[in-house]
Amino acid sequence: MTADYIVLGPVELALAAGLVVLTGLLALVLRLGVAGRLFIAAVRATAQLAVMALVLKALFEMASPWLTALAVAVMLGFAGREAAARQGHKFAGWWTLGLGTSAMTVAGLLVTLFALTAQIKADPWYDPAYALPLLGMILGNAMNGVSLALDRLSGEVIRERPAIEARLALGHDRWQALAGPVRAAAGAGLIPVVNAMSAMGLVFIPGMMTGQLLAGVPPTQAVRYQLMIVFLIAAGTALGVLAVTLAAAARLTDGRHRLRLDRLRGDTGV
């Protein structure tokens, strides 16, 4: 133990890993069908975090704006790929990846830049020790919201196709005809962050706050940091969800106010 925080060694990590192994063995005995995926996920997490630690150590030491920008681009690319991979009905071409990545890029960068310049006031403002962790937390939550919103919108539009086309035939424009699916998709995308904020402090202690408490930060200061982060996450998620929902709704229609389900892959009933 140091003067500032508790140092975790190989033995402590091995004990935690043993719990995962035990869980996997129970899943194997009960034939739940998830044991293999659980072990693979654990190995991936270990390898990915180990590599990330080495990369972050180098980035923190160099503090180069260009290398920080490269790391941000990589994070945005992987976030967009993960969001696109979770869709039940994808857009033809690169539209699913493009819509998701663009929405998260705009939301993540805007909120992160605001936090770095107006709240944290890092010097320099692009300091990777602040920029990358902040962007990562915002992107992780925005990715879930964007993914849920995209999937919900396409599903709602396919399910409500007769009603939407009837509204269009009666003279409604595309935004009026798609108002219901758009609201449902945006609401679905915001559910995780709303639920997290509602339960925070009652049901669970957030991960960032837990880490700070373990590192010896006073609880009142840890709460302030956590509130700042959760508000930034909520704003980033909301911006990303609204942006991707409106952009996807526009893609599912055209300038002549027609429903364009032919722009989706798979069985859409067209």
Average pLDDT of 86-104?
89
- For residue range 226-235, list pLDDT tens digits in order: 899 999 999 9
First vs last C-alpha separation in the chain: 65
Q: How confident is the model at residue 2 (pLDDT cuts 50, 70, 90)?
A: very low
Query: Position of tokens 């160099």?
Result: 62
Q: What is the reported pLDDT for 122?
A: 82
Axis crossing angle, helix 35-62 with helix 128-159, rounded to the nearest 10: 140
Full-model pTM: 0.84
The domain limits of the chain are 1-62, 65-263
β-pair partners for 200 = 204
Residue 7 is given by DSSP the state P
Cβ–Cβ under 8 Å, residues 242 and 102: no
269 pLDDT above the threshold of 80: no
Please give the residue that has the higher pLDDT: either 126 or 203: 126
- How many residues does the structure list for the chain? 270
Q: What is the reported pLDDT for 266?
A: 67
- For residue range 188-210, list pLDDT tens digits in order: 999 999 998 998 888 888 878 88
